[in-house]
Amino acid sequence: MKKTAGFALTGSHCTFKKALAALEKLAESYDIFPIVSPAALTDTRFFKSEELVARLEGISGRKPISSIRDAEPIGPGKLLDILIICPCTGNTLAKLAHGITDTAVTMAFKAHLRNDRPVLLGISTNDGLGASAQNIGRLLNTKNVFFVPFCQDDPENKRFSLVSDLSLLTEAADCALRKTQLQPVIRSK
Ligand SMILES: Cc1cc2nc3c(=O)[nH]c(=O)nc-3n(C[C@H](O)[C@H](O)[C@H](O)COP(=O)(O)O)c2cc1C
C-alpha cells in the first residue's frame, strides 16, 4: 500500500507550476491529501483559484483541505505518514517557527507533528536570507522537520531569495520518511 502524504501549498503563486509538476511525480508513489492556505486560493496573474483546485483534485482524487476545522483530524486520525509543505512562504515559515496556527496548513503542521511524524518543507521566499533566515534556522533545528534542499536562485538580482529545488522533492520525501535529511541541504544554483 502507498504511504500517505499531505501536500500543502501556501501563497508562493509563481512556484505553483513547478510544485504541481513535482506533485504529479510524487503521486506515483504516495497517496496524496492536498491542503491549501487561504492565500494559495487567491486568484493571481500566475494561477486562478479554480484552476489550482482542479489540478489538485485531478492529481490526488481529493478536494483540498482548506479550513482549520478540516485539517484538525490529521492529528487524532493519524491520517498522514508525511506532511509536505510546498511551496512554503516566508509567512508560513514564521508561523511554523513560532507555533502560530491560523490556516489549514499551519493546523496540519501542528496536528501532524503531535504524531511524531516527519514534515518536509519546500521553501520559496524572497527574504530567505533576510527576515526568514532566523525562522529557517529554527526549523532546521526542529525535531521531525526536514527541508527540500535549497539554493539562492538569483543572487545577482534577488540577494536574499532562497528556493528549494523541487526536482529533489520525491527523493527528499523518501529520506524524510526515514527521518533523514537529504544532503547537501544547501545546493548551488
Ligand atoms: C503573486 C504573488 C506571489 C507571491 N509569491 C511569494 C513567494 O514566492 N514567497 C513568499 O514567501 N510570499 C509570496 N507572496 C506573499 C504571500 O502570498 C503572503 O505573504 C501570504 O500572506 C502568504 O500566506 P500563507 O503563508 O498563509 O500562504 C506572494 C504574493 C503574491 C500576490
On whether the pTM is more than 0.95, the answer is yes
pLDDT surpassing 90 at residue 103: yes
Task: Kindly give the distance from the C-alpha atom of residue 12 to the centroid of ligand 1, in angstroms, as a whole number.
Answer: 4
Q: Does residue 37 have its Cβ closer than 6 Å to ligand 1?
A: yes
Task: Kindly give the distance from the C-alpha atom of residue 60 to the centroid of ligand 1, in angstroms, as a whole number.
Answer: 24
Residue 86 resides in a domain: yes
Question: Which residue from 7, 9, 13 has its CB within 8 A of the most atoms of ligand 1, so it is best to mutate?
Answer: 13
State which residues form the domain around 58: 3-177
Residue nearest (by alpha carbon) to ligand 1 atom 7: 12
What pLDDT is attached to residue 58?
98
pLDDT tens figures, 104-124 = 999 999 999 999 999 999 999
pLDDT surpassing 90 at residue 189: no
Q: Please name the residue that has the C-alpha cell 490529521.
A: 74
The CATH number of the domain holding residue 46 is 3.40.50.1950
Which residues have a Cβ under 8 Å from the Cβ of 171 and sit 6 or more positions away? Answer: 182
Do 32 and 5 contact (CB within 8 A), yes or no? yes
Residue 112 resides in a domain: yes
Task: Kindly give the distance from the C-alpha atom of residue 39 to the centroid of ligand 1, in angstroms, as a whole number.
Answer: 7
Q: Give the relative orientation of helices 133-140 and 90-98 as an angle to the nearest 10 degrees.
A: 50
Task: Kindly give the distance from the C-alpha atom of residue 6 to the centroid of ligand 1, in angstroms, as a whole number.
Answer: 20
Give the position, in ligand 1's atom list, of the atom nearest the Cα of 93: 25
Residue 188 resides in a domain: no
Residue 162 resides in a domain: yes
Q: What is the DSSP string of 80-99?
A: -SEEEEEEE-HHHHHHHHHT
Question: Which residue from 89, 106, 154 has its CB within 8 A of the most atoms of ligand 1, so it is best to mutate?
Answer: 89
Residue 184 resides in a domain: no
pLDDT tens figures, 54-67 = 999 999 999 999 99
Q: How many domains does the chain have?
A: 1
Residue 128 resides in a domain: yes
pLDDT tens figures, 4-33 = 999 999 999 999 999 999 999 999 999 999
pLDDT tens figures, 118-158 = 999 999 999 999 999 999 999 999 999 999 999 999 999 99
3-state helix, strand, coil in the chain (%, to 5): 40, 20, 40
